[in-house]
C-alpha cells in the first residue's frame, strides 16, 4: 500500500497527463481495496483519501483517472464502519462534481444530489 501511494504522490508531483503508471497504480489500489475492509482502512490511515482528492483536482476531466478514483471511494463506502471518513464537505463537493460529470457522459444513473 505504502509503495503504491508513493507512486501516486510522485505522479501527482510530476503532473503528467495520460500517464500509464498513474492509471495502473490507481487500478491496483482499486482492486486491492475491493471486498477488503482492512485494506480500505489502511488506505485511509496512510492519507489516501486526501491524496485522491488532489488527484481528482489535478487530473480533472481525465475520465479514466476519475473512474478509478471513484471505484476505490465506492469500495470504502461499502464498508459501513468506514463510511464516516467520506463525510468531508470539500471532498463531497468535488466528488459530486466528478460523479455528475461522469454520470452525464457514461452512465444511466441520475446526478449526485446537491448539498
pLDDT for 17-43, tens place per residue?
A: 558 999 999 999 999 999 999 999 999
* Residue 30 located in a structural domain: yes
* Residue 96 located in a structural domain: yes
d(CA 15, CA 9): 10
Q: Tens digit of pLDDT for each residue in 100-110? A: 777 655 444 45
* Residue 19 located in a structural domain: yes
Instruction: Pick the more confident residue, 98 or 6.
Output: 6
| Total structural domains within the chain | 1
Phi, psi at 34, each rounded to 5°: -65, 125
* Residue 115 located in a structural domain: no
**35: domain range?**
2-106
* Residue 22 located in a structural domain: yes
* Residue 38 located in a structural domain: yes
Q: Tens digit of pLDDT for each residue in 48-90? A: 999 999 999 999 888 899 999 999 999 999 999 999 999 988 8
Amino acid at each position: 500500500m505504502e509503495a503504491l501511494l508513493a507512486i501516486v504522490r510522485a505522479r501527482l508531483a510530476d503532473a503528467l497527463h495520460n500517464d500509464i503508471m498513474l492509471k495502473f497504480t490507481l487500478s491496483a489500489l482499486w482492486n486491492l481495496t475491493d471486498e477488503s475492509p482492512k485494506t480500505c482502512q489502511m488506505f485511509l490511515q496512510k492519507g489516501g483519501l486526501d491524496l485522491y482528492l488532489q488527484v481528482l483536482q489535478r487530473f480533472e476531466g481525465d475520465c479514466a483517472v476519475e473512474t478509478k478514483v471513484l471505484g476505490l471511494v465506492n469500495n470504502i463506502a461499502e464498508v459501513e464502519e468506514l463510511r464516516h471518513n467520506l463525510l468531508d464537505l470539500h471532498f463531497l463537493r468535488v466528488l459530486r462534481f466528478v460523479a455528475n460529470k461522469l454520470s452525464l457522459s457514461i452512465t444511466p444513473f441520475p446526478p449526485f444530489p446537491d448539498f
